[in-house]
Amino acid sequence: MHSHRPLATAATALTALLLGALALGGCTSSASTPFAVGPAISGDDHPTVAVIGDSIESGMGLDPDEAWPALVAIDRRWGVQNYSVPGAGFLAPGPDGQSFDAQVDRAIAIKADVVLIGASDNDLGQDPSAVASAMAKAVERLRDALPKAHILGFNALTGEASDDDLAPLDHALRTAVAAVGGHWLDLGQPYRGQAGLVQDDGEHPTPAGQQAIAAAVLERLDTRV
């Protein structure tokens, strides 16, 4: 991390103390390809960023400003609208009975400059082909409505599900994002199974776990600010 990124530096340092090193998944060509998502994208200091996700992104059990989207927003000087809903997925409904489709609607409504959209373990148990189809439709709808937006997909984050279980979901979303010219952020599992980074429920990250995710996200983003 660069010295002008105090939050990222602090998050990395904290994670290093807890883990010994930040646990990140391997970069692929699409993850390592440079792309600029800094403030200049919208012509002002605060690009409009929408987050589409589940309970991990919403910061379940924590204050909203402790969730990783808020931490990344501070570091990147983004204006973030976090539409994430616990329990929701591309097919799985949240407590409001709505899937990620409703979050896509909100991202389109605000004319987001950047959309972060993640796979979710809430879709485990659903028909894989149906989930893949829903992912493709959601991402295509974003691209059609927001042709100039940066669409950034990322893998499902979890404290419990295995990599093998999540692989089909991650692959399907990665394929959908690539098909519309978006970018893939392979974040690995920065907090899963790590003492001090997982809440007592075994699934959701603690504040330190959210900081570990934020550090992983920042590591994958082009540093232009």
pLDDT 10s digits, 163-204: 999 999 999 999 999 999 999 999 999 999 999 999 999 999
- Is 1 part of any domain? no
**pLDDT tens digit string along 141-170?**
999 999 999 999 999 999 999 999 999 999
CA dihedral 194, 199, 201, 205 (to 10 degrees): -80
Please report whether residue 225 resides in a domain. no
Residue 107 lies in a domain: yes
Tokens linked to 39: 């403030």
Q: Domain span at residue 131?
A: 6-220
| C-alpha distances in Å from residue 72, one per residue of 111, 124, 148, 180, 202 | 20, 27, 21, 24, 24
How far is Cα 119 from Cα 164, in angstroms, rounded to an integer?
A: 14
Q: Which residues pair with 116 in a beta bridge?
A: 51, 152
* SS3 of the chain: helix, strand, coil, percent, to 5: 45, 10, 45
Q: What is the pTM of this model?
A: 0.82
- Does residue 179 belong to any structural domain of this protein? yes
User: How many structural domains does the chain have?
Assistant: 1
CATH of the domain at 68: 3.40.50.1110
